[in-house]
Amino acid sequence: MKYLHTMVRVKNIEESLDFYCNKLGLKEVRRVENEKGRFTLIFLGAENSDEKTGLLELTYNWDPEEYTGGRNFGHLAYSVKNIYEVCEKLMNNGVTINRPPRDGHMAFIRSPDGISLEILQEGEALPVQEPWKSMENTGTW
């Protein structure tokens, strides 16, 4: 068995691509427009993803629907080389760090559609440092 992708439904393609690509750093791998089914699928990959595995599938249904409870989905998880640099970049781009990386190892953010994303430090945790050490949680994740 091989992991292929995780699918999340999104309400706004442009807002979601801005978050996942411009702010989080994923890249669009492929896109499928299905007129008969009235949906668009956009597959995104991290730097170590290939064209078929380890992907995030954004599903946009052309007919408006209300999606609730993004948290009951669980969360997406990505590892990064430097969690402090990534969280700082995200904050500078207007993303709320819901659970700051106080331990140098783990942080949580949320997508525009309320999907929780866990950011994990690759390897050992970084030394604990400010401003992260004393930063409070914001909202839920």
Query: Which stretch of DSSP H or E encloses residue 91?
Result: helix 83-92
Amino acid in the structure at residue 140: T
Q: What are the C-alpha distances in Å from 59 to residues 70, 74, 82, 97?
A: 14, 17, 30, 24
Q: What's the 3-state SS for 34-71?
A: ECCCCEEEEEEECCCCCCCCCEEEEEEECCCCCCCCHH
Residues annotated as part of the active site? 118
Quote the CA–CA distance of 4 and 137 in Å, as a whole number.
32
Tokens of 31: 């896109």
